[in-house]
Amino acid sequence: MLACACALFVAACGQTGRPVRPTPGVGTKLPSPPAVDMPGREAEPAVTPIRVRNWEAFAHTSRVLDLRIAAGDSALRGGAGKANPAAVAALRMTAEARDLLERGQPEQALDLLERAIGMDGRNGFAYLYLAHLYHRQGRYEQGRVFAQRARQYLPRDAYVLGELEGLRASLAVNTNPLRGH
């Protein structure tokens, strides 16, 4: 079982051409957004990347998504008929939207996530990243709705569900009527 998971992980890194994402907080430092140099003003970040409480869980969720894409690609190439091409394409769109969120481009990410859900309504990762996006924009009620949908379709993985539960807790605090939101 572990050997199979390792092989899929290696396959995911090789097929996507993306380096393995380091787990922030474990001997690594998150890169800062590029600074904008304007005369007479203090430098400030050009974009605001997605804010996540638990980067380790977020990075793990990203790896799980990449593994799902690799497994879907492998099944499609093998012709076994076990993978739905639309679902695999929706996962690829979701990964692209995740990258846009990390770079601070929520408008483009929103478009891709909506299209991904249109292609595969059972894409839990797309719902999760939509919940993150709405949380970041202060649209907590919409974020809460998408977090609930994400819970229905996400894989039963401790880190993935941990990320979701942390997000849901933050959304619940921000939509609590006693706090005035």
Within a 10 A sphere around the Cβ of 99, how many other Cβ atoms? 15
Axis crossing angle, helix 158-174 with helix 124-136, rounded to the nearest 10: 30
Q: What is the pLDDT of residues 34-84, one digit of tens each?
A: 433 434 434 433 445 555 555 677 788 889 999 999 999 888 887 666 789
Instruction: Give the DSSP letter of residue 50.
Output: P
pTM: 0.67
Domains of the chain: 50-175 (1.25.40.10)
Q: Residue 44 forms beta bridges with which residues?
A: 36
| Mean pLDDT of all residues in 81-91 | 88
The count of residues in the chain is: 181
Q: What is the band of 19 on the pLDDT scale with cuts at 50, 70, 90?
A: very low
Give the CA distances from residue 10 to residues 2, 20, 71, 85, in Å, rounded to whole numbers and listed in that order.
Answer: 12, 9, 11, 22
pLDDT (tens digit, 9 = 90+) per residue, 102-147?
Answer: 898 999 999 999 999 999 999 999 999 999 999 989 999 999 999 9
Q: What is the Cα–Cα distance from 144 to 40, expressed in whole angstroms?
A: 41
What's 178's DSSP letter?
Answer: G
Per-residue confidence (pLDDT) for residue 29, from 0 to 100: 38
- What is d(CA 169, CA 66) in angstroms, rounded to the nearest whole number? 26
Is the pLDDT confidence value at 156 over 80?
yes
Q: Is the pLDDT of residue 166 over 70?
A: yes
12 pLDDT more than 50 = no
Angle at 138 between CA 133 and CA 144, to 5 degrees: 65
pLDDT for res 59: 84
pLDDT surpasses 80 at 33: no
Question: In 3D, which of 56, 67, 71 has the Cα closest to residue 163?
Answer: 56
CB contact at 8 A, 69 and 92: yes
pLDDT at 65 (0 to 100): 93
Tokens standing for residue 170: 């933050």
Max mean pLDDT among 9-13, 14-18, 69-73, 169-173 falls in 69-73
Out of 29-38, 116-125, 148-157, which region has the weakest mean confidence (pLDDT)? 29-38
